[in-house]
Amino acid sequence: MRGVAIVGLGMTKIKAHWDKSMRDLFAEAALKAIDDSGNLEPQVLYVSSMLSGELSGQSALGPYVAEYCGLRDIPAIRIEGACSSGGVALHEAIQAVSSGAYDTVLVGGVEKLTEYPTSIVTSALAEASEQEYEAYFGATFVSLNALLMRYYMNKYGVKYEDMAEWPVLMHENGSVNPYAQLPFKTTIERVISSPLIADPIRLFDCAPTGVGASALLVTTYDNAKKVTDTPVRIVGYGVGTDFISISLRERLDLLRASINASNKAYKMARVKPEDVDVAEIHDAFTIMAILSIEDLGFSKKGEGVRELKEGRFRKGDKPSINPSGGLKSRGHPVGATGIYQAAEVAMQLRGDAGPIQVDGVEVGLTQNIGGAGTSITVFIYKL
Amino acid sequence: MRGVAIVGLGMTKIKAHWDKSMRDLFAEAALKAIDDSGNLEPQVLYVSSMLSGELSGQSALGPYVAEYCGLRDIPAIRIEGACSSGGVALHEAIQAVSSGAYDTVLVGGVEKLTEYPTSIVTSALAEASEQEYEAYFGATFVSLNALLMRYYMNKYGVKYEDMAEWPVLMHENGSVNPYAQLPFKTTIERVISSPLIADPIRLFDCAPTGVGASALLVTTYDNAKKVTDTPVRIVGYGVGTDFISISLRERLDLLRASINASNKAYKMARVKPEDVDVAEIHDAFTIMAILSIEDLGFSKKGEGVRELKEGRFRKGDKPSINPSGGLKSRGHPVGATGIYQAAEVAMQLRGDAGPIQVDGVEVGLTQNIGGAGTSITVFIYKL
């Protein structure tokens, strides 16, 4: 298999973007990425989005965004994996390059969630859960996550106020991120007193809905070395899938798909969890952050919250987790999130992450979750 | 690049399927394909669908269908390219195998279009066209095709009653296809007197909306030779994209994306149009069939209808086009159509296409169109 590296990246700030369409946003990120690569010409385009059809009424999303990037003729393909759409699209980009069929790939994500009433957006996001037996009987997406959180807290004797450390850390990290949707600091007290959404999940446990686009230029490692001094190699990856029906899973206190995906990625990269310097993980809800920390091997099962409270995972620790502010503070433009994570970790490795830069990053990792642990991608990066 | 071959295939009959969900249908086709391969175990799953989110409210379609196939853990990824979703998914399956990352891939398509009022389905299908400047101002998907048909008829002096030869031929072919949605014969008179949908397109120029699923087991050619005496090699492929906005295209009398995709496929396969024995092409509307025949090189530009009227493209001619009955008679379960085509051509090469079998097939071709010529895939197959 041919080695694959990131040589260009671009993002938009995450906010409401009332004045921009999906292709305005995608083109902004994509043209930045192409420019950042020294104007490499992509031979295929992948675009990830969860809800472009449901909310914006646009299928054929590949050709739709390609048009505004000035790209014609080349394959332009949409990938959907609910909230893991971005990570899954990066998986396709890697296959396209490593197969030898294409040398240079543009892969980006875009999601537009504003312009619609909250009830419609909430219903649309719930499409990430099983519709026929779970959603149909009234389980919302946040309620399924609440169930996992309650079960975890009960099984491991964890208090809510200790879990509240997570959003506080995320807002501290995100407060200096120029791309972040919610760049402000917060406190344990404010988290604890925020409105209940689905007990025990409170408002501050939830990533906000945001709009944004992100893009990467990916090419062979041999090409990459010619165009930049800091190609970011993707040295390992894995995609794991679990039953979408939570009712069918044997254990609710772990993310089986994350364990499978990361084991594969670690093995391919010849890297261990303790080698990772910086990780961007999918904290759509606080419980997803804690399960992910444990199931990526950064903490033992049931001890993630204790370690968090003791001060681990902050900027400068190994690993530093979500220096971007994560989904909680940077934001979560659903189908674009996995690509934001990859771009952020690539910046960390290149040393040009600006105010969110962590010192001495040699090994980076991203983890992107679709559904309540249903589809999970893990990528490992090195210079 | 590693050679890729089809070693298993499965389809459902195309009909309303009121009693079956998307995953019931997908599992039926997928388990047939796995069985047909001698129980090869897929390492990754691709599922194509255009409207699973809009009409059935289900994202994370990959894990959703995987569950009913008894597949857990492996990557399960949805691909969307409007009506070309199936062809685009097959492109991803090829990349996954030829990259060396996966040896065996399950790729299938599913679409459920019943259970909804016609107005909702029509609006949903119109998502294949550009929404902001074309659909927004009232152009329906069929009206865009009508514009292309009117332009073509005027430019090349073609009469409607001659174009009506196409649906008549398709219904003749499809009348013996056990999987076909509309397996009956028709006449020029009946086509000409069918209701106008968007002048000059009449009801009998349009593929019906149908429900179905289809699946393929794809593996390396080396593996394939071990498990079957009739592995169907995919020897060439191309994916072409044109501007989604028809208003931006220089020419309306050709499918630029089809020309690009087929040129690439012919070159890779070292095959010329005159070598093709059987082709399954995307006749969503009669005009798409005629443009495709010309732009795949089976006829000169402007002469497709004359050659059709003279009796070409029938079963036994070279090429025989759409012995299945095509989208017009076999049916068009949108995101599954590209996979139906591949399965049908694979059966032709294996010699087990039953009542639709064409004699002496050595080279097969499929062409799958998304939008009004926006995204087009071409594959070439040999034993």
pLDDT digits (tens, 9 = 90+) for B159-196: 999 999 999 999 999 999 999 999 999 999 999 999 99
Q: Which residues of B touch A98 (CB under 8 A)?
A: 99-101
Q: Which residues of A touch B50 (CB under 8 A)?
A: 53, 59
Is B218 in the same domain as B353? Answer: no
Give the model's pLDDT for residue B122: 87
Answer whether A11's CB lies under 8 Å from A181's CB. Answer: no
Is residue A290 one of the residues assigned to a domain?
Answer: yes
Q: Is the pLDDT of residue B115 over 90?
A: no
Give the pLDDT confidence of B253-299 residue by residue, as tens digits: 999 999 999 999 999 999 999 999 999 999 999 999 999 999 999 99
What is the total count of domains within chain B?
2
Which among A21, A60, A128 has the least Cβ separation from residue B60?
A128
User: CA torsion A151→A156→A162→A165, rounded to 10°?
Assistant: -80
Which range (A108-117, B58-67, B324-333) has the least confidence? A108-117
| Amino acid, res. B134 | E
Is A132 in the same domain as A275? Answer: yes
What does the pLDDT average to over B135-157? 95
Answer whether B10's CB lies under 8 Å from B41's CB. Answer: no
Give the pLDDT confidence of B7-35 residue by residue, as tens digits: 999 999 999 999 999 999 999 999 999 99
**B91 assigned to active site:** no
Which range (A132-136, B229-233, B323-327) has the least confidence? A132-136
Q: Which residues of B touch A78 (CB under 8 A)?
A: 79-81
Is residue A122 one of the residues assigned to a domain?
Answer: no
Is B268 in the same domain as B227? Answer: no
B51, A67: Cβ pair inside 8 Å? no
Let me know if A6 is exposed, middle or buried by CB neighbors in 10 A (0-12, 13-18, 19+). buried
CATH of residue A275? 3.40.47.10
Considering the candidates B83, B171, B206, B282, report the single residue annotated as catalytic: B83
**Enzyme catalytic residues of A:** 83, 332
**Rounded Cα gap, residues B175 and B166, in angstroms:** 14
Name the band, by pLDDT with cuts 50, 70 and 90, for residue B236: very high
Nearest CA in chain A to B89: A77
Q: Which tokens belong to B233? A: 């090699």
From residue B220, how far is each of A301, B41, B97, B173, B211 by CA, in Å?
40, 13, 6, 33, 31
Q: Which residues of A touch B127 (CB under 8 A)?
A: 53, 57-60
Nearest CA in chain B to A22: B132
Which among A77, A245, A375 has the least Cβ separation from residue B81?
A77
- What whole-number percentage of chain B has pLDDT above 70? 100
Pairing mode of beta strands B4-11, A4-11: unpaired
**B17 assigned to active site:** no
Helix, coil or strand: residue A99: coil
Is A311 in the same domain as A357? Answer: yes
**Rounded Cα gap, residues A10 and A31, in angstroms:** 7
**Rounded Cα gap, residues A161 and A148, in angstroms:** 17
A80, B72: Cβ pair inside 8 Å? no
Answer whether B232's CB lies under 8 Å from B5's CB. Answer: yes
A131, B375: Cβ pair inside 8 Å? no
Give the pLDDT confidence of B77-111 residue by residue, as tens digits: 999 999 999 999 999 999 999 999 999 999 999 99
B132, A78: Cβ pair inside 8 Å? no
Name the band, by pLDDT with cuts 50, 70 and 90, for residue B330: very high
Is A83 in the same domain as A163? Answer: no
Kind and range of the H or E element at A80?
A: strand A76-80
- What whole-number percentage of chain B has pLDDT above 90? 96
Answer whether B57's CB lies under 8 Å from B28's CB. Answer: no
| Beta strand ranges found along B130-280 (DSSP E) | 196-198, 201-202, 212-220, 232-241, 278-280
φ, ψ for residue B285, nearest 5 deg: -135, 155
End-to-end CA distance of chain B: 18
A79, B74: Cβ pair inside 8 Å? no
Give the DSSP letter string of A254-271.
Answer: S-HHHHHHHHHHHHHHT-
Name the band, by pLDDT with cuts 50, 70 and 90, for residue B46: very high
Q: Which tokens belong to B323? A: 């012995």
Which among B66, B74, B80 has the least Cβ separation from residue A80?
B80
Is B247 in the same domain as B312? Answer: yes
**Rounded Cα gap, residues B267 and B69, in angstroms:** 37
Is B86 in the same domain as B171? Answer: no
Give the model's pLDDT for residue A244: 96
Give the model's pLDDT for residue B1: 75
Give the model's pLDDT for residue A382: 98
Q: Which residue of B2, B58, B59 to mutate against A (max A Cβ within 10 Å)? A: B59
B370, A131: Cβ pair inside 8 Å? no
Give the model's pLDDT for residue B329: 98
**Rounded Cα gap, residues B79 and A78, in angstroms:** 6
Is B163 in the same domain as B271? Answer: yes
Q: Angle CA(B130)–CA(B132)–CA(B138) in degrees, nearest 5? A: 80
A75, B88: Cβ pair inside 8 Å? yes
Answer whether B139's CB lies under 8 Å from B244's CB. Answer: no
Minimal CA separation from B287 to chain A, in Å: 20
Is A103 in the same domain as A172? Answer: no
Q: Which residue of A45, A59, A334 to mutate against B (max B Cβ within 10 Å)? A: A59
Q: Angle CA(A246)–CA(A248)–CA(A249) in degrees, nearest 5? A: 70
Give the model's pLDDT for residue A116: 84
B59, A82: Cβ pair inside 8 Å? yes
Is A351 in the same domain as A267? Answer: yes
Which among A60, A88, A95 has the least Cβ separation from residue B95?
A95
Minimal CA separation from A143 to chain B, in Å: 17
User: pLDDT of chain A along its 383 residues, tens only?
Assistant: 799 999 999 999 999 999 999 999 999 999 999 999 999 999 999 999 999 999 999 999 999 999 999 999 999 999 999 999 999 999 999 999 999 999 999 999 999 998 888 888 988 999 999 999 999 898 999 999 999 999 999 999 999 999 999 999 999 999 999 999 999 999 999 999 999 999 999 999 999 999 999 999 999 999 999 999 999 999 999 999 999 999 999 999 999 999 999 999 999 999 999 999 999 999 999 999 999 999 999 999 999 999 999 999 999 999 999 999 999 999 999 999 999 999 999 999 999 999 999 999 999 999 999 999 999 999 999 99
Segments forming the whole domain that contains residue A278 = 128-206+236-382
Q: Which ipTM value was assigned to this complex?
A: 0.97
Give the pLDDT confidence of A273-286 residue by residue, as tens digits: 999 999 999 999 99
Give the pLDDT confidence of B287-313 residue by residue, as tens digits: 999 999 999 999 999 999 999 999 999
What does the pLDDT average to over B39-68? 96
Q: How many CB atoms lie within 10 A of CB A142?
A: 20
Q: Which residues of A touch B374 (CB under 8 A)?
A: 60, 63
How big is chain B, counted in residues?
383
Is A216 in the same domain as A103? Answer: yes
Q: Angle CA(A351)–CA(A352)–CA(A354) in degrees, nearest 5? A: 115
Nearest CA in chain A to B66: A243
Is B134 in the same domain as B28? Answer: no
Give the model's pLDDT for residue A115: 81
Q: How many CB atoms lie within 10 A of CB A250?
A: 7
Is residue A123 one of the residues assigned to a domain?
Answer: no
